Amino acid sequence: MALAVLTAALALAPNLPLDAWQSAQPAATAAKTALPKIRLIATGGTISNRTSGRLTADELVASMRGVERYARTESEQFANTSSAALTIEQWLGLARRINTLFAADPDLAGIVVTSGTDTLEETAYFLNLTVRSDKPVVVVGSMRNPSTLGYEGAANLLQGFRVAAEPQSRGQGVLVVLNDEINAAREVTKTDALRLQTFQTRGYGILGVVDSDRVVYYRNIVKRHTKGSEFDVSTIQALPRVDVVMVYQGASGDVIKAMVDQGAKGIVIASAGAGATSGTQGEGIRYAIDKGVFIVTSTRAGGGRIASRRSASAPPSESETNADNPGPQQTGGRFRIAAEDLAPLKARILLMLALSATRDEAEIQRMFVEY
């Protein structure tokens, strides 16, 4: 209503007497104040990486034509580098900064974070587990840089601001917005090295879309996240080392042993199928377990769930009948965790946070079920 009054007042402004124009000013101020306040936190990435130098947070905000219709904007420069160059310490700092902003400013309706796309899904999932507010946090990026014909960064950023300003986004967890689509941080994956439609949620589908008339949601996330998370980064100074091992034909277990010897506290196995390893990896896993290193079994297949135990009525899979390279159900028990449906990269993030809180196998398995 306030926006309509403002539009009408501006349309009649040339013909309004002075006293009438002055009376329209409170309506204009009210309309602007009624818009949600959204802050941009820029970390860099392709979205800012033009050939003459990286765009700043302020320049990114200025690139969004029409954003004033949806939000009052603020911006800050947290970093300006590639996503692969962000450190774990910077992840912790970013989560703390977001939590501080939400706690200090009740009027702040949401936050948009820019990121390079190469590791965007990891940054988004880390924030999904560590931001302690149900206010929207939206991670955006672009596949083309500002110096390239067809640069889509400004459009993605504007859509991110629209999603962050949308009341229905509250309580949805950290969101990833590119190519007019909304995906959940927990589920989204970069599926193509170059194409604009690279970010997808295989199996489950998008959460919603950003169309010209409005933001539309089709489903909600049921897993724990953000405000419901138990992980408090304000008390965490560093995260334990967790590595990822890919299963491939004839793979050596020496790689796993080397990770253990170099200080890994957990290892995520990106297994073949539903838990199979290969070569001498089984030997490496046993070595890790003997040293007290946690093993999380995930799948490299791109989809599917690794269960914590096999149903007594279900026939064993190839993974479970491979005596030389046992799957998670065969080895079972101590220091063994099933990743459920988390992709290997995200299982690593959850294990790092879990190990910062506990070394109890049952508790960590509970976390993988709930998150």
pLDDT tens, residue by residue, 286-336: 999 999 999 999 999 999 999 986 444 444 445 444 544 444 444 457 999
Do 81 and 46 meet the contact criterion of CB atoms below 8 Å apart? no
pLDDT tens, residue by residue, 72-104: 999 999 999 999 999 999 999 999 999 999 999
Is 46 a known active-site residue? yes
Instruction: Indicate where the chain has its CATH 3.40.50.1170 domain(s).
Output: 35-228
Question: Which secondary structure element, helix H or strand E, spans residue 58, and what is its range?
Answer: helix 57-62
Residue 71 gets which letter from DSSP? -
Q: Torsions phi, psi of 292, nearest 5?
A: 80, 20
CATH architecture of 35-228: 3-Layer(aba) Sandwich (3.40)
Q: What's the CATH fold of domain 240-370?
A: Rossmann fold (3.40.50)
The per-residue pLDDT for 339 is: 98
Helix (H/G/I), strand (E/B), else coil: 238: coil
User: How many beta carbons lie within 10 A of that of residue 85, not counting itself?
Assistant: 14
Do 217 and 208 meet the contact criterion of CB atoms below 8 Å apart? yes
Give CA–CA dist 125/208, Å, rounded.
Answer: 18
Residue 159 gets which letter from DSSP? H
Instruction: Indicate where the chain has its CATH 3.40.50.40 domain(s).
Output: 240-370
Confidence of residue 13 (pLDDT cuts 50, 70, 90): very low
Residues 20-49: what's their mean pLDDT?
77
Residues 28-57: what's their mean pLDDT?
89
User: Secondary structure of 194-218 in the HEC alphabet?
Assistant: CCCCCEECCCCCCCEEECCCCEEEC
Do 45 and 141 meet the contact criterion of CB atoms below 8 Å apart? yes
Express as a percent the part of the chain with pLDDT over 90: 84
Catalytic residue among 7, 29, 33, 46: 46
Helix (H/G/I), strand (E/B), else coil: 11: helix
Res 115 pLDDT > 80: yes
The per-residue pLDDT for 22 is: 54
